[in-house]
Chains A and B, each alone.
Chain A
Amino acid sequence: MIVYILCFILFLVGLYGLITRRNLIKIVISLSIMEFSIFILLVLIGYIDGGIAPIVSEKIVNPTYVDPLPQAMVLTAIVIGLATTAMLMAIAIRLYRKYGTFDIREIKNLKG
């Protein structure tokens, strides 16, 4: 149970950073923290106490395997996360070139 709570705390850390930080790069980092807390939750869902990696072999007697599907999902999601982070960073750097700052208080042409 404690692992799930830690995972939730990690999510909240990311959310806190997202809300309070004023720096574009720190916002991107906070988003990554939130993302990874969800990945950890996904891996935890497939975890079984004492389970081993699901590689079928005759040497192991009475094996308990962990669920491999969430692991596959997390791998896919990490790749997607890489793409979104790269996109965010690219836009942040272009914004820096236009405005000369990473501070979101300076970047407010649009009204929302």
Chain B
Amino acid sequence: MNSLIPLFIIIPLAIAFIIPVIGKLTNYFAKTITPIMLLILCFFSVTLLFNNNQESYIVGGWQPVDNIPIGIYLVLDGFSKLILCIISVIGFLVSIYSISYISKYTSENNFYALFCLMIAGMNGVVLSGDIFNLFVFLEISVIASYALVAFGVGKNELEASFKYQVLGNIASFLILFSIALLYWQTKTLNIADISNILKTHDSSAFLTFTQILLITGFGLKAAIIPFHAWLPDAHSSAPSPVSAMLSGVLIKAIGVYVIVRLFFNMFAFTYEIAVVITVLGTLSMIIGSLLAINQWDIKRLLAYSSISQIGYIILGFGIGMMILAKGGKESLAVLAISGSLFHMVNHSVFKGLLFLGAGAIEYRTNTRDMNQLGGLSENMPITSTTSLGASMSISGIPPFNGFFSKLIIIIAAVQAKFYLLAFLAVIVSIITLAYFLKFQKAVFYGKNKNFKDIKEVPFAMSLSMIVLVILCLGLSVLAIPSIREVVLDQAVNSLINVDEYVNLVKY
């Protein structure tokens, strides 16, 4: 019982409450402790990713009675290791970036406290093996993110935050409702235990209703297309480091992760549910990219492109689910799911980088309107180069990581004979290239009209952007199958072999 898993939740949670207290005495405490904490979590999660042990931890040591689990379980398997890694690496780089960026706001301590609270909530969602506990951690992280979106307290920020909160609350009600229905049917809250009990159940209309409620609730959190209305406002109004966190990590950790975890490891999904998920993914892929073309605000363009890229991720999982539900070749499903996981990692890296770049532009010019910008590549060489790298990566230009992950998803779709889906994925990739060319041309090239004498951003901001662009190039090595097996196969295995997750929670 000397496992280290709970530290992922305890350390950020404790620091979130220490910062407002000690922060009153000295101004430098919050700025130094947050990156240090995230660096420790980074090392910790990367070492976990490369060793094979998967474990579970019983909070408070409440051992099961008569084979019925009564305590709260924290479960660490391959999939949660991968997401923990994304959270801490992106969180670390974003916190370094914030040291300079947030200094223009008042009450920096509150920012860092909320930031740590959001990290704690996301780590909790990823580790929790208990569906109600998952809901509690989810609420912790979204309440912190509501406050962070409104952090600028301008007109737009407040309006965006209110809209985000109304839709977020409805999503939470739907999730709570579906948890209530699940408890009604199975009389337990443990995900592994629910999975065991549902195996003996026939699929009833009641169960399907619960599944639809869950897809709606977590779809609202992940901003899949019919439920996306809050995302462009919230992500474009938040301070840029927060946008990078929200777009790069939050919608994956509390949206996509939970959908995938529940449908792979808890429910035995049917073919119909797989089709629903694939259709939702395809819709958000297409409509998100079409809406992005017409935007002239940098961060709104990036926000819509997030919707489109989340569509790719959901599409990959959907293809894998359809193949598995029809009893097709398992190797194909493995290919689709690992492509999807790969794209998830990549998207958090390049979308984080793009939002940080947009923040750097806003930091120097105080505008996000593409019509007023232009020719910034001479004044801001580092921002220009890194954001060019990220744009090439997201639109799928070969040496960068985005190309390989999209390629794997498309290859899986073609081999599984979903030609239409593969065709649409290619088309959307071309549209993505189009609007990122527009972004690059309008902001960094062309004639510099208004901002002739601006300088490059401070060192801390450019450092995290440079590290992220190196990651963009470096992650391409995951395209080599033997390296991909080391990193992603654990995660894929824990999704495909349902029993592995159940056996992990011993009772």
Contact = CB atoms under 8 A, between A and B. Distances in A.
Interface string B146-162: 11001001111011111
B183 A80 contact: no
A35 B165 CA distance: 14
A56 B184 CA distance: 24
Interface residues on chain A, size class: 20 to 34
B173 A45 contact: no
B136 interface: yes
Contact of A31 (B158, B166, B183, B232): B166
A5 to B, nearest CB: 16
A84 interface: yes
Interface in A59-112: 69-70, 73, 76-77, 80, 83-84, 87-88, 91-92, 94-95, 98-99, 107-110, 112
Nearest to B188: A69
B490 interface: no
A15 to B, nearest CB: 9
Interface in B135-153: 136, 139, 143, 146-147, 150, 153
Interface in A4-55: 18, 24, 27, 31, 34-35, 38, 41-42, 45
A68 B162 CA distance: 35
B229 interface: yes
Contacts of B153: 94
| Interface size grouping (class) on chain B | 20 to 34
Contacts of A99: 155
A87 B146 contact: yes
B388 to A, nearest CB: 28
A34 B173 CA distance: 8
B263 interface: no
A110 B183 contact: no
Contact of A84 (B154, B163, B169, B229): B169
Nearest to A88: B165
Contacts of B207: none
B273 interface: no
Given A38-B176, A73-B132, A76-B136, A84 B143 contact: yes
A21 to B, nearest CB: 11
Given A87-B146, A88-B166, A112-B233, 15 more contacts: A34-B170, A45-B184, A80-B172, A83-B143, A84-B165, A84-B169, A91-B146, A94-B150, A94-B153, A98-B158, A107-B159, A109-B155, A110-B156, A110-B160, A110-B233
Interface of B: 132, 136, 139, 143, 146-147, 150, 153-156, 158-163, 165-166, 169-170, 172-173, 176-177, 179-180, 183-184, 189, 229, 232-233, 237
15 contacts: A35-B173, A38-B176, A45-B180, A70-B180, A83-B143, A84-B139, A84-B172, A87-B146, A88-B166, A91-B158, A94-B150, A98-B158, A109-B156, A112-B163, A112-B229
